[in-house]
Every structure is written in C-alpha cells, then in structure tokens.
Amino acid sequence: DIQMTQSPSTLSASVGDRVTITCRASQSISSWLAWYQQTPGKAPKLLIYKASSLESGVPSRFSGSGSGTQFTLTISSLQPDDFATYYCQHYNSYPWTFGQGTKVEIK
C-alpha cells in the first residue's frame, strides 16, 4: 500500500498568514492527489484534485502543487473559516489512502 505522510501534524497560525502543508507519498503517485478540509462534525470538503486543480466554488487562496512523491497545499492568506483539519489522499492505485491530517489552529 502507498503510505501518505503529512507534515506538520499541527500548525499554529494567525489570520492573514501564508500557510503551507506538505504531503509525501511512499512511492510515485504521478498527480493523483486530492486535498480536503474538515471541520468538526462535518464531512470532508474537496479543495484540490489532480494535485493542483481547484474544485469548483473553493476560494482561490487555496492552491496545490507537486507531482511524484512530494505535494503541498498552500493557503495564501489564512481566513477565520480556514481553521480546520486538512487531509491529503492519493488515488493512484488501490487502496486509496489518506494522510494522517494536519490541524491548523489559531495562534
């Protein structure tokens, strides 16, 4: 199975900060990577698919980059609604696995 490792596990930031979350795959997954945002009590929300494509309706302050084994999710200017947990997920080959999550907290 392909393992997905996110860093950091927790991130403390302030409104307006630029935030970067990293996801590393244990083997190449080309660009078959998605990013999700989850707030307590809610289902995950798709932000980015195919590593860098912005899902419809998602604010442009979210962006994704990378290919192969190294990927990043960047929030250009953190907003109050962005304090949440973020997950990466690969869909290169079965089983599709998720990273362990990165919690973005208020500093």
Among 23, 32, 37, 64, binds other proteins (CB under 8 A): 32
Q: Determine if 49 is a binding residue for other proteins (CB under 8 A).
A: yes
Q: Contact, 74 vs 65, CB < 8 A?
A: yes
Q: Contact, 35 vs 66, CB < 8 A?
A: no
Between the CA of residue 21 and those of 8, 10, 55, 68, 95, what are the distances in Å?
A: 7, 10, 18, 16, 23
Among 13, 20, 52, 55, binds other proteins (CB under 8 A): 55
Q: Determine if 11 is a binding residue for other proteins (CB under 8 A).
A: no
Contact residues toward other proteins (CB under 8 A) are 1, 32, 34, 36, 43-44, 46, 49-50, 55, 87, 89, 91, 94-101
